[in-house]
Chain A
């Protein structure tokens, strides 16, 4: 996960999956700014939600063994349909339904050839911010790495 917010922009499954990963981490400011910048906005109709619920987070025994249930996390999700026909899903940790709705809109827009470049630009913006944040965290942690040295006592 270390500093690898890749930007696979292929409009297939991989690109959409990566896009959804980035949208789940988008700030409300990033989403609203990108939405405002879209000139010919399609109409957006809600299909499901936005709603908040829980996902049971699973861990693995010993770190890599069989799964066990660790505890729940709040998740907000939304599904929307654009007037151009595309259906989009948005889902992310937390209780912010507005962000989930925007994420669904941009997932739908990503499937529209005319709008895809704008969504890809948003993906790029989010990925760049996450890279900066992860890099900073990694560098802060690296500064706390212990450099051992050996003390030699006595003459020989």
Chain B
């Protein structure tokens, strides 16, 4: 028999009304605008876009405002919204070599074409709270300088000497899979793994990446380069017969260079991990590239000895919308399940008591 329990409508309505009140906060303070969130909390907006897997700065800002700053809730809201939109198609692959670079650093070469461009970085700040930001003091305009040559890709420099493996190739005839269209299956090819990692939880990927550095699946990494900037998105229009540009998006790319592999057929060369993320998120792109390399055990015949190398473990747990859904569902009513467990534990205790009593009797009889 199944008995549905109803009720709580009024409580839920009032709870949501209270949520709206707390979200607005002190009414004597001005409400924050979507534009302000986009402009002044841009990296929060970027993280929401990356992990919701939807590039739209305004919608991400709306989501984080609606979520009172709860990032995973904001990601959830944006992820849910995307399901209401039709899919127009697949873009041409973006060309990160042609990026309008805002930051590009390499840890492998000091002097390289394009140079080390620091861009708007937190690196080299002292991480001291800045009391001047309590107020609204004027901010100096950026310095300007004549631009130099185009920033060359570091992997191309090494590739010229054959010292590094090429950009990733899938087996001939392989069509890139799409996680939003097909259920997950393992083993999962690298293209699908990259899609999952690109929208994976930053904290989870950071922890896994860190674990590889601490020895759980070590890969001896160097940052070949990290670059941040705008790339063009082009969509093929069948009605016209050519691809047109839809505008630009900002992405972060990390080329991780890892220690060598060789075989009887091939001389030793550096291997690679790749990270590509919506928005400005160096930490995420670097973590992604470390985890991507760690997961390529099948290509390099490496033993799976650490969590970061186990693709089923990594990919199945990287999505924070799925994770929060399953963890948080535990707080929903489980009254009937729990009642059954209660009955069970009571019965087990009765049996246990009876068995002990029987044992005690038996011992008494034996002693007599």
Contact = CB atoms under 8 A, between A and B. Distances in A.
Interface in B85-141: 85-94, 96-103, 110-111, 115-120
Contacts of B155: 62-64
Interface string B242-256: 111111110101010
Contacts of B101: 141
Residue with the highest number of chain A CB atoms closer than 10 Å, among B94, B153, B190, B245: B245
B82 A59 contact: no
B249 A93 contact: yes
Contacts of A64: 97, 153, 155, 167
A1 B145 CA distance: 19
A52 B85 contact: yes
Contacts of A57: 55, 91, 94, 233, 249
Contacts of A74: 54-56, 59, 85
Contacts of B98: 1
B143 A95 contact: no
Which secondary structure dominates where chain B touches chain A?
mixed
Interface in B253-285: 253, 255, 272, 274, 276, 278
B169 interface: yes
A149 B101 CA distance: 24
A119 to B, nearest CB: 15
A62 B94 contact: no
A68 B87 contact: no
A66 B143 contact: no
Interface residues of A, number: 55
A5 B180 CA distance: 35
B161 interface: no
Given A55-B233, A57-B55, A94-B56, A62 B272 contact: yes
Contacts, number: 239
Contacts of A95: 56, 58-59
Contact of B56 (A17, A60, A63, A73): A73
A61 to B, nearest CB: 3
Interface in B9-68: 49-50, 53-56, 58-59
Interface of B: 49-50, 53-56, 58-59, 82, 85-94, 96-103, 110-111, 115-120, 142-148, 150, 153, 155, 166-170, 174, 176-180, 190-192, 194-195, 198-199, 230-233, 235, 237, 239-240, 242-249, 251, 253, 255, 272, 274, 276, 278
18 contacts: A1-B98, A24-B244, A24-B247, A54-B87, A57-B94, A58-B94, A61-B168, A62-B255, A63-B253, A64-B155, A68-B176, A68-B191, A68-B192, A77-B88, A89-B240, A91-B237, A134-B100, A142-B147
